[in-house]
Amino acid sequence: MTGINTQQAALQQAVTMAETRSRRKMMERIWLIILQLFLTALLISFLVPALWMVSSSLKASTEVFAHPIVWIPEKPQWHNFVRVFEILPFGRFAWNSFLVVLFAVVGTLFSSILTGYSFARLRWPGRDFFFGILIATLMLPEVITLVPRFILFRTLGWIDTLLPLTVPFWFGTTPWTPLYIFLMRQFFRGIPMELEEAALIDGASRLRILIQILIPLSKPVIATVIVFAMLQHYTDFMNPLIYISSLDNWTLALGIAGLNADESFRASWELVFAAGTLMTLPVVVLFIFAQRYFVQGITMTGFGGR
């Protein structure tokens, strides 16, 4: 009789545990559905302005601010994109932006990789102290160094050239570079030191170790820096506005602002949206191709020193 009662108790306990697991799984599913609905609504709220910009770039002037909102133009005005290049030399602006982004991003990678490697893998007096000072500069607003930089570039004769927008990034002297150095340092610290020690025993130099071992292993963080730096330089408006005056040296950011400020085209918002859509496309394409490395780089930079 005791054995039967024990079996019944065990059976009842098993049934209770199964019901508990079932309820837990049900609650997890409900919570997952709620979370997905919330994230979907959040995504839509972020996408609405971009979708409205793309839609408005294909509208006629009378449809841009129509009420209620016209999401799908009755007759898509594809010639809006052509008129953008007819009004202002946007081809020239795009070339200037390409040059700025190319040389500034390469310079950012060069300075951040070398400096991050020094802070992560080399031992020298005051290393941690200077790294703390470097990180502290992230809290300084960029406008604090604006006047000294302008005086320096004016003295060098660089005003109204692309040099102020590219050269400083090769030396890590800009307000944004400490962030990239920090990302590089954290990632380098996560790479096992035994790889470098084995290469040193085999007679490899520090530079060869960096180029042939560490950089190939650092593709995720390099992709992250490239995406951040490209967005920073591609969309930068304040620095080109300060250092560039002639139309031939304008970047795309200045071109769109000039299109918006022109009295003769102030009512032609469809052209402004068309220019904005054209400027956004390269960024979207870049992120589509680099998103895997980008997410991986952001995730792995948190494991420095493991």
pLDDT tens for residues 211-222? 888 888 888 888
| Res. 201: pLDDT tops 60 | yes
pLDDT at 127: 87
In this structure, are residues 168 and 111 in contact, taking their beta carbons and an 8 Å threshold? no
**In what helix (H) or strand (E) does residue 300 lie, and over which residues does it extend?**
helix 269-300
| Res. 6: pLDDT tops 80 | no
pLDDT at 22: 78
Q: What is the mean pLDDT of the chain?
A: 82
Report, as an integer, the average pLDDT of 3-17. Answer: 65
pLDDT at 128: 87
Domain regions of the chain by residue span: 2-47, 84-303
pLDDT at 135: 86
Q: In this structure, how many other beta carbons lie within 10 angstroms of the beta carbon of residue 14?
A: 10
Residues in the chain: 306
- pLDDT for 52-71, tens place per residue? 888 888 888 777 777 777 77
| Res. 150: pLDDT tops 70 | yes
pLDDT at 294: 62
pLDDT at 109: 92
What residue type is assigned to position 262 of the chain? D
- pLDDT for 100-138, tens place per residue? 999 999 999 999 999 999 998 888 898 889 988 888 888
DSSP state letters, 125-175: TTHHHHHHHHHHGGGS-GGGGHHHHHHHHHHHT-TTSSGGGTGGGGTT-ST
Which pLDDT band holds residue 194 (cuts at 50, 70, 90)? Answer: confident
Which pLDDT band holds residue 172 (cuts at 50, 70, 90)? Answer: confident
Which pLDDT band holds residue 305 (cuts at 50, 70, 90)? Answer: very low
pLDDT at 306: 43
Does 84-303 carry CATH code 3.40.50.2000? no
Q: Which of 6-10, 171-175, 178-182, 246-250 has the lowest mean pLDDT?
A: 6-10
pLDDT at 86: 79
**In what helix (H) or strand (E) does residue 21 lie, and over which residues does it extend?**
helix 2-56
Q: 9 or 244, which is more confident?
A: 244
Question: Cα(78)–Cα(252) distance, rounded to whole angstroms?
Answer: 20
Report, as an integer, the average pLDDT of 176-199. Answer: 86
Which pLDDT band holds residue 288 (cuts at 50, 70, 90)? Answer: confident
The reply to whether the predicted model has a pTM over 0.85 is: no
